Structure 1
Amino acid sequence: MDLRQMRYFVAVAEERHFGRAAERLHMAQPPLSQQIKQLEATLGTRLFERTTRRVDLTDAGQLMLERARQILADVDALTQDVREVGDGAAGVLRVGFVGSATYRVMPALVQLARSELPGVRLHVMGEMLTPQIEQSLLENRLDAAVLRPPVQSSELLLDTLEGDSLVVALPAHHRLATGGGPVHLAELAGEDFVGYPQGSTVATITSEACRGAGFRPRVVQEATETSTLLAFVGAGMGLALVPDGARRAAASPVAYRELVTAPAVGLAVAWKRDSLSALIPAFRSLVHRAVDEVRHGPATPEPQNDPTPTKVTPPRHFVPTSTASDPGPQERP
């Protein structure tokens, strides 16, 4: 099996028609059919059920399509990364962001990276869930990520950041939307909830907090992306507990109320234990600064005592300096 045959297979699988697939690939149909037959012979199984009107995937073909798409995407990404480094980039870092960090931490981080790591290309993927990020790190599809701990694998290292408190997101017309002061979690008993999928960190914390308040949340709709989740809230489908940073994600009419004894949700930088990327230390340092800016505002530069300022040329490559207050990465047992 080679990459060319894999691309041919994906084209036929997506078009469900050899003629249309051949047109898409800018080739004649007979050679395409021959390549697919050779691929099936190599694998020792049929990938397609052929009829006079259409082509359907077998179970083996469906599995092949899922894996082939991912392999081809990885190859294309690798090609682009190598090309960028060859064109002079100091490096490429593939970074994932979870939930609300996409809307607050990510923009601040990208701004810092542009000024202090100008030769580094960041390939950013946002609106991911922690289990999805963890799998992507383990499969080397991401180099580093900002996620919600805990993680399951001991192959990952975590560097803890300042986390968020959960707030309740409410439809604008909800009875609690216009009240003042924090809301007791018990006041949400009997309400419809929309939430992140089961197994995600926020969903687990939400469920545990509601049980502690004496009720079980009635989840009527799940959504992977924070923006979609808040769109459901704005549409009146239910309320949601979300990290405070999610406030920037909503374009829909959504009201937010703080909670009495609000549950906290953590945040951490994660990377693979055996990562060889020399960019990880600089990335970790910039994430800490980005989170600090988001929480407390940009640092104010100290005034210069010398009336004649000295011109300082910033280094081309940023190298973080460890301090006594930096505990370093936390290894999971």
Structure 2
Amino acid sequence: MLDKLDMFIAVARERHFGRAAESLGITQPTLSAGIKQLEDQLGVQLIFRGSRFGGLTPEGARALDWARRITGDARQLREEMRSVRHGLSGQIRLAVIPTALSLAARLAARVNARHPKVRFTILSRPSRDILAMLEGFEIDAGLSYLDNEPLGRVETEALTEERLVLVCAAGSPLAGRAEIGWAELDGARLALMTPDMQNRRIVNQAFMAAGVAPDAVIESNSIIALIANVGEGDWVTVLPDDIARVLAAGKGLSLVPMAPLAHRVAHCVGLVVPQRAPHTPVIEALLEEARRMRVD
């Protein structure tokens, strides 16, 4: 039944039979047959469908919660048995806010150094998507902000305090400063993250606290695109120093710390995992390495 539950979860996630089949690497007729077999086994209709997906029935909505729990427990059982026989191994699906991708790389490297059989899939996603993906069992863990917006029922492990810097061309009048105030950027040619990104909301809060209404001429959900625009013109952007140092290296750009305001500008970034006990062995290893990383 587990394979049929996986099919049902995929259809509920994609809301489209073709995309669900593609995500599972099977044909659409195989998917449709699997869903029909699951409905026959449970004795209820799970999905409204005609020529296309029509949503979950009330029974389907209830079954989805059970399906996610059952498949999650089965995955945990498989990993625990595999770790007993062969040592810690498995796949960690990790979704990361774009500004923490360099942090995710360090965490993955440290886990893999201790447990070479553990593999990672790392996805770049907005913070709100990360929480939704955790709830839907689409990922195993996330890296996100811990203290700026509500997180819901999750377990967290703090990793670092994020510090914001201005990224500008090395020849800019702003380059080489010890720090720069937010109000000084009033009227600057700003390239910023898109409003759906929590980093942008944090930056907006800082600007507004300084009495500035930020007017971004360029918006992107890609930090690489923002850095590229700064390198090509007289644009400036505000990013966390960690990812900015990685992406600006060797590009003739200058990083200038943003001056602190009366309210806190540093935000905590850390690991977010579903609130459940016990965790799978690989997730427990991930949490343990996050704790070591924080101390180091």
Deviation of 1:292 after TM superposition, in Å, equals: 5.0
Structure 1 residue 10 and structure 2 residue 18: aligned? yes
2:273: which partner in 1?
271
Q: 1:171 aligns with which of 164, 169, 172?
A: 169
State the Cα distance separating 1:196 from its structure 2 match. 1.8
In structure 2, how many angstroms separate the alpha carbons of the residues matched to 1:96 and 1:287? 15
Do the aligned partners of residues 237 and 9 (structure 1) sit closer, same or farther apart at CA in structure 2, a change above 3 Å counting?
farther
- Write the letter of the residue equivalent to 2:272: A
8 Å CA contact 1:93, 1:120 repeated in 2: yes
Shift of 1:151: 4.5
Quote the offset at 1:223 in angstroms: 1.9
Q: Is the 8 A contact 1:193 1:220 kept in 2?
A: yes
Please say if residues 159 and 293 of structure 2, whose CA atoms lie closer than 8 Å, have aligned partners that are also in contact.
no
Structure 1 residues 44 and 184: CA distance shift in structure 2, 3 A: closer
Counterparts of 1:171-250 in structure 2, within 5 Å, are 171-177=169-175, 179-236=176-233, 238-246=235-243, 247-250=245-248
Amino acid at match of 1:46: S
Is residue 96–residue 143 contact of structure 2 (8 Å, CA) maintained in 1?
yes
1:91 shift after superposition = 3.1
Cα separation, partners in 2 of 1:112 and 1:9, compared to 1, 3 Å: closer
Aligned pair partner of 1:285 in 280, 284, 288: 288
Relative distance call for 1:174 and 1:153 in structure 2 (3 A) is same
SS in 2 for 1:154: coil
CA distance in 2, matches of 1:131, 1:9: 25
Provide the C-alpha distance between the structure 2 equivalents of 1:134 and 1:44, rounded to a whole number of angstroms. 28
* Preserved contact between residue 109 and residue 286 of structure 1 (Cα < 8 Å): yes
Q: Which amino acid aligns with 1:281?
A: E
Gaps of 5+ in 2: 34-46, 56-67
Contact between 1:92 and 1:123, CA under 8 Å: does it hold in 2? yes
In the aligned structure 2, how far is the partner of 1:245 from the partner of 1:153? 23
CA distance in 1, matches of 2:211, 2:234: 22
User: What's the Cα RMSD here?
Assistant: 4.1
> Does structure 2 conserve the Cα–Cα contact (< 8 Å) formed by 1:167 and 1:242?
yes
Residues 130 and 151 in structure 1, CA contact (< 8 A), matched pair in contact too: no
- Judge which range, 218-227 or 187-196, deviates more: 218-227
Once the 2 structures are TM-superposed, how far is the Cα of residue 44 of structure 1 from its aligned partner?
4.9
**Residue type at the aligned position of 2:112:** R
| Preserved CA contact (<8 Å) 2:157 2:290 | no
Task: Return closer, same or farther for 1:43/1:108 CA change in 2, 3 Å cut-off.
Answer: closer
Moved more, 134-143 or 278-287: 278-287
Give unmatched runs, 5+ long, in structure 1. Answer: 15-24, 36-41, 48-59, 64-73, 294-333
1:34-60 Cα offsets, whole Å, 9 max, x none, are: x9xxxxxx965335xxxxxxxxxxxx6
Match of 2:108 in 1: 110
Aligned-partner residue type, residue 216 of structure 1: A
Q: How many residues align?
A: 244
Instruction: Measure how far apart 1:261 and its partner are.
Output: 1.7
Structure label with greater radius of gyration: 1
* Partner in structure 1 of residue 154 of structure 2: 156
Question: Normalization by structure 2: what TM-score?
Answer: 0.66
Write the distance in 2 (CA, Å) between the matches of 1:9 and 1:281.
Answer: 34
The one-letter code of the counterpart of 1:204 is R
Q: State the alpha-carbon separation in 2 of the partners of residues 167 and 146 from structure 1.
A: 20
Matched residues in 2 for 1:284 and 1:165: separation? Answer: 23
List per-residue Cα deviations over 1:157-210 (Å, max 9, x = no partner). Answer: 222233121111113443312x33211221111112222222433212211111
Q: Deviations over 1:82-107 (max 9, x none)?
A: 79x6995633322222233212x233
- What is the CA-CA distance between 1:267 and the residue it aligns to? 0.8
Cα distance change on mapping 1:253 and 1:129 into 2, 3 Å: farther
The answer to whether the Cα contact below 8 Å between 2:157 and 2:291 also exists between their aligned partners in 1 is: no
Secondary structure in structure 2 of the residue aligned to 1:271: strand
In structure 1, distance between residues paired with 2:163 and 2:48: 52
Counterpart Cα distance in 1 of 2:122 and 2:138: 12
Query: 1:92 is aligned with what amino acid?
Result: Q
Aligned: 1:96 with 2:95: yes
> Deviation at 1:216?
0.7
Identity of paired residues, percent? Answer: 20
Separation of aligned partners in 2, 1:258 and 1:240: 12
- Is 1:45–2:50 an aligned residue pair? yes
Report the secondary structure of 1:279's partner residue: helix
Cα distance, 1:118 vs. partner? 2.7
**Is the CA contact (8 Å cut-off) linking 1:194 and 1:237 kept in structure 2?**
no
1:143 corresponds to which residue? Answer: 140
Aligned match of 1:298: none
Contact 2:111 2:285 in 1 (8 A): no
